[in-house]
Amino acid sequence: MVLLLEKVMYYIHKSPFGSRVIVRNDNQEKDPLFWNTWAQRTLKNALTLQKLNQNTAKNLILFLGDGMGIPTVTAARILKGQLSRQSGEETQLEMDNFPFVALSKTYNTNAQVADSAGTATAFLCGVKANEGTVGVSAAAVRSQCNTTQGNEVTSILRWAKEAGKSVGIVTTTRVNHATPSAAYAHCVDRDWYSDGEMPAEAVQAGCKDIARQLFENIPNIDVIMGGGRKYMFPQNQSDVEYPGEKKHFGTRIDRRNLVEEWNNRMKNKNAHYVWNKKELLSLNPNSVDYILGLFEPGDLPYDLERNNETDPSLTEMVEVAIKILKKNPRGFYLLVEGGRIDHGHHDGKAKQALHEAVEMDRAIGHAGLMTNINDTMTVVTADHSHMFNFGGYTPRGNTIFGLAPMLSDVDQKPFTAILYGNGPGFKVMNGLRENISTLDYEENNYKAQSAVPLSMETHGGEDVAVFAKGPMAHLLHGVHEQNYIPHVMAYAACIGQNRDHCMSSSGASSLSAALPSLTALLTFTRFLC
């Protein structure tokens, strides 16, 4: 007898404290058979994992949820279910279905609690680095231009390109923001978006801004999609979408038009520059080999605020990216960043952050439908966590943005389940904690209360999850240093440092043949010891 979760019925109930609670309207969870059947089904699936996927990965996809700590994953899971009118806790995210899970230690070489630049260098370039720096080793010092040369480190995107694969970057932030920039740039300051944000002495010393490096360091990146348009155009040039808004004008002091330069360089290569959703979706990916999509002057809008007519979703960008990249018979490497999860948390806007996480999960599922687990390794992880959590003994089905089912026994006021350890949500009224019962705490931009007042909430320092599926995914297990991730992905695809083990006597790629030999060698070494 198999009991399906889809058969569960729900109804919405209003708690005495004002929160909506989605209540399960059946008795199946009271029957031990329900839980035993579910566990046995899970066990049966787990037993199939004893046969490891040791194929060579033709394709590599890394989904990076910026700031997507484990509490964010759990809350996003509940939200996903509640958006489908379920109670949420039993829902499965796409990443929940990945067979292998590990933990990643996120610290930077000079920081216990990391930033996104040093962590991006770790999970893209394979070496830990100082906070605020991208694509350089820990020998480089933030903002000191003269420490760049000689300390550059290369990324898995470059390794893939050099192996003949197509490569792509898709992000909801600026394409020259911390995470994507570590894939192609070598810069001692993550904030050097264009030369307009650089100190004059750094420019004079020969350091390059990140936008310029996007087009110069790795020739012909096949897919580039995200925001950051203003950093590509001359200072004070008006924006095509917001011509009257000075904050969106170009920032380049060198007067270069990097988009025009790209168009000129790529004019005979089936290349297209697009700046809105209509242009993007009007393209036939079969006739496109290169795409540069810059959809906003800065970051893309939150998914809850996105203009469906002009701004593509992360899922839509990922679909176009994979259609273009998968045409290469040698495969591809794709970096996908759900970058605004992080921004929502920094603003104390949990609803924005969690909806960003749900949209990234949707993109993960869509990518799974477009690829094959037998030849595509997919990894989902975060760069760091946040000071975000939820609790308060909430009942099953409590709306994730709702109130805890009790008043504080100290100030006798209600509180939401979601709280931040620090951030902009700290408010005192007449010397007392603000009474949120008068506020719309389920509004999109509500700033959840925090324990310590800060203009921006901070990152968290705990380990983050790594979900993996596809060839060699079992190598991501246990607790690892964050810089281990690209080494595993490169090993699976036989690129970068990890190629020798892939060559059989016939010259064909064969991971399966290499691994037993490696095991035998390790066993023999153990006997010698």
Extract the tokens encoding 487: 């080494």
Q: Is 383 annotated as a binding residue?
A: yes
pLDDT tens-place string over residues 257-281: 999 999 999 999 999 999 999 999 9
CA 206 – CA 148 distance, rounded (Å): 10
Alpha helices, DSSP H only, in 114-267?
Answer: 116-125, 156-162, 178-181, 200-204, 210-216, 258-265
Split at pLDDT 50, 70, 90, the class of 64 is very high
Domain assignment of residue 392, yes or no: no
**Mean pLDDT, residues 136-140:** 98
25-29, 68-72, 168-172, 212-216: which range is least confident on average?
25-29
Look at residue 208 in the predicted model and tell me its pLDDT: 98
Q: Is 310 annotated as a binding residue?
A: no
90 and 219, same domain (yes or no): yes
Res. 367: pLDDT tops 60: yes
Domain assignment of residue 143, yes or no: yes
Using an 8 Å Cβ cutoff, are 336 and 329 in contact? Answer: no
Q: Is 31 annotated as a binding residue?
A: no
Question: What is the phi/psi pair of residue 278, to 5°?
Answer: -60, -45
Q: Which CATH number fits the domain that encloses residue 263?
A: 3.40.720.10
Task: Using alpha carbons, list the distances in angstroms from residue 309 to 301, 312, 420.
Answer: 13, 8, 34
Nearest to 494 by CA among 232, 81, 159, 69: 159
Question: How many percent of the chain have pLDDT more than 90?
Answer: 87
Look at residue 499 in the predicted model and tell me its pLDDT: 83
Average pLDDT, the chain: 92
User: 136: which DSSP letter?
Assistant: B
Number of domains, the chain: 2
Q: Tell me the CA end-to-end span of the chain in Å, nearest whole number.
A: 53
Look at residue 500 in the predicted model and tell me its pLDDT: 84
Look at residue 19 in the predicted model and tell me its pLDDT: 56
Res. 54: pLDDT tops 60: yes
Res. 10: pLDDT tops 70: no
299 and 228, same domain (yes or no): yes
421 and 274, same domain (yes or no): no
191 and 236, same domain (yes or no): yes
Nearest to 458 by CA among 358, 519, 384: 384
Residues marked as catalytic: 116
Look at residue 496 in the predicted model and tell me its pLDDT: 94
112 and 164, same domain (yes or no): yes
Domain assignment of residue 40, yes or no: no
Res. 526: pLDDT tops 90: no
Domain assignment of residue 16, yes or no: no
Task: Using alpha carbons, list the distances in angstroms from residue 495 to 38, 249, 488, 499, 503.
Answer: 40, 40, 10, 6, 12
pTM of whole model > 0.85? yes
CA 344 – CA 67 distance, rounded (Å): 9
Which carries the bigger pLDDT value, residue 416 or residue 25?
Answer: 416
CA 259 – CA 256 distance, rounded (Å): 9
Tally the C-alpha atoms within 13 A of residue 330's C-alpha that lie toward its C-beta: 11
Domain assignment of residue 441, yes or no: yes
CA 302, 316, 279, 228 dihedral sign is: positive
pLDDT tens-place string over residues 202-241: 999 999 999 999 999 998 999 999 999 999 999 999 999 9
Res. 509: pLDDT tops 50: no
Question: How many percent of the chain have pLDDT more than 70?
Answer: 90
Domain assignment of residue 443, yes or no: yes
pLDDT tens-place string over residues 302-350: 999 999 999 999 999 999 999 999 999 999 999 999 999 999 999 999 9
254 and 197, same domain (yes or no): yes
287 and 418, same domain (yes or no): no
Domain assignment of residue 37, yes or no: no
**Mean pLDDT, residues 63-78:** 98
310 and 431, same domain (yes or no): no
Look at residue 514 in the predicted model and tell me its pLDDT: 47
Which carries the bigger pLDDT value, residue 513 or residue 123?
Answer: 123
192 and 317, same domain (yes or no): yes
340 and 489, same domain (yes or no): yes
Look at residue 21 in the predicted model and tell me its pLDDT: 57
Nearest to 340 by CA among 144, 67, 114: 67
Q: Is 366 annotated as a binding residue?
A: no
166-174 and 223-227: which strand pairing?
A: parallel
Residue 407 is part of which domain span? 403-453
Domain assignment of residue 372, yes or no: yes
376 and 415, same domain (yes or no): no
Look at residue 293 in the predicted model and tell me its pLDDT: 98
Q: Is 487 annotated as a binding residue?
A: no
Burial 179-207 (b: 16+ CB within 10 A, else e): bbbbbbbbbbbbebbbbbbbeeebbeeeb
**Mean pLDDT, residues 433-442:** 95
Which residues make beta-bridge pairs with 187?
134
The label of the residue with tokens 């290169």 reads: 290
Q: Is 384 annotated as a binding residue?
A: yes
Q: What is the dihedral of CA 225, 367, 94, 376, to 10 degrees?
A: -120
Extract the tokens encoding 430: 């007449």
Look at residue 2 in the predicted model and tell me its pLDDT: 32
Look at residue 23 in the predicted model and tell me its pLDDT: 53
Look at residue 371 in the predicted model and tell me its pLDDT: 98
Would you tell me the crossing angle of helices 70-83 and 350-370 to the nearest 10 degrees?
Answer: 80
Look at residue 24 in the predicted model and tell me its pLDDT: 59
Burial 308-318 (b: 16+ CB within 10 A, else e): eeebbbbbbbb
Res. 515: pLDDT tops 60: no
Q: Is 254 annotated as a binding residue?
A: no
Please enumerate in sequence order all residues whose Cβ is within 8 A of that of 352, keeping only pairs 6 or more positions apart, or say none. Answer: 302, 304, 340, 343, 344, 444, 445
432 and 291, same domain (yes or no): no
